[in-house]
Amino acid sequence: MLRDDARRIAAAIEERLNASACQGVKATVQSEEMSPETIPAGAGRPTFISYFIQIGDGTRMASLTLDQAAALLDDVEADWTPDQLFEAIRALDVPVEHTH
């Protein structure tokens, strides 16, 4: 279910960005799997999966939780530039990395 939510949010963000001045910015789903170091005797090894939305424009990249990505989706304006998009991401307390 979370995977489907992540895909839906990423597709909606990318669609909204492609209809704005942020054409070319990509929103993709990333996942991170974690397993506990110790497990009770006789129990199976559980795997926990976290989903993130990674937003990038070729020079910058940020990874947002699903809640942060949903909040960003609500805020995106049609006249936003990529700089405004990444400022909004920073306002969500999400670090933005330079990829070059």
Domain segments of the chain as ranges: 2-35+47-95
Burial class (CB in 10 A: 0-12, 13-18, 19+), 71: middle
State the pTM of this model.
0.84
The pLDDT, as a whole number, for residue 42 is: 76
pLDDT at 19 over 80: yes
Convert the pLDDT of each residue in 33-65 to its tens digit.
998 888 777 777 788 999 999 999 999 999 999
Q: Which of 96, 17, 30 is nearest to 62 (CA)?
A: 96
